[in-house]
Amino acid sequence: MEKTPYYCTELDRSSKEIYPEAYKNIVEILNDSLLQDEINAGNITLAMIRPNVGPDANNLHLSDLAAAEKIEEMIQGLGVVAKFSFYFTKDTVEEFYEGGPQENMLKESPIDRDQFDTRWPEFVNFMCSAPTTAILLHSPNGDAIEKWRNHLGHWNIDEVRDETTIRGKLGVNKYNNLVHGSDAPESVSRELVIISNCIQDTSNEQKA
């Protein structure tokens, strides 16, 4: 992984442009066989800071950028291999969250009942509405997934709130629980392939 640790301002959460060359660097990192070896060993996990995490979505009423920085400050005991922001597409959201998450949200009521029939299309719209920040976190002890998920807290903060966790301290409700964490090495691999394909498609559209 010669290009890691990787960060460039062109892929910052505040950037409004699409930079194909920077996207190309990220795709190369995500498809590096050495990265896959580290994932298989449990040393790498995927963290995501979801879109629109401020000011109404966090208890401190921070702006989106300030809230994202606060979330990063709360990460302890893990190194950063790469950090970049990208836009989810509708197809990417549907692939990323297919199965249980999609099925559950199809049964839930939306916040905006005038515009959406269920929570699922509302969630898809939300995930495409602004940049998501992806962070590849590293631990040399095979416990990267466990460490990050311990930082997260329960997804349903309306019912289970631990204020020592990111969601428990900062999140307002379950409809935007701020962050994502992969639950197994296989999930990390699958999710990074989906993100890599999304980035490539976005970059190709920009070139066209």
> pLDDT tens digits for 27-55?
999 999 999 999 999 999 999 999 999 99
> Distance between CA 141 and CA 77 in Å, rounded?
11
Residue pointed to by tokens 């939300």: 126
What domain count does the chain have? 2
* Token couple for 191: 């999710």
Indicate whether 4 belongs to any domain.
Answer: no
Residue pointed to by tokens 């920009």: 206
Residue 176 DSSP label: G
> What number is the average pLDDT over the span 59-82?
97
Residues 96, 143: one domain?
no
Between the CA of residue 115 and those of 108, 185, 191, what are the distances in Å?
14, 37, 29
Domain that holds residue 106: 90-126
Indicate whether 100 belongs to any domain.
Answer: yes
Strand positions, DSSP E, the chain: 44-49, 79-86, 132-138, 179-181
* Token couple for 30: 């995500």
Report the C-alpha dihedral over residues 45, 168, 74, 11, rounded to 10 degrees.
Answer: 60
Indicate whether 186 belongs to any domain.
Answer: yes
Residues 20, 107: one domain?
no
Residues 46, 109: one domain?
no
The predicted-structure confidence for 103-139, as pLDDT tens digits, reads as follows 999 999 999 999 999 999 999 999 999 999 999 999 9
pTM: 0.95
Indicate whether 168 belongs to any domain.
Answer: no
**132-138/44-49 β-pairing:** antiparallel
Residues 48, 14: one domain?
yes
How many residues are recorded in the chain?
208
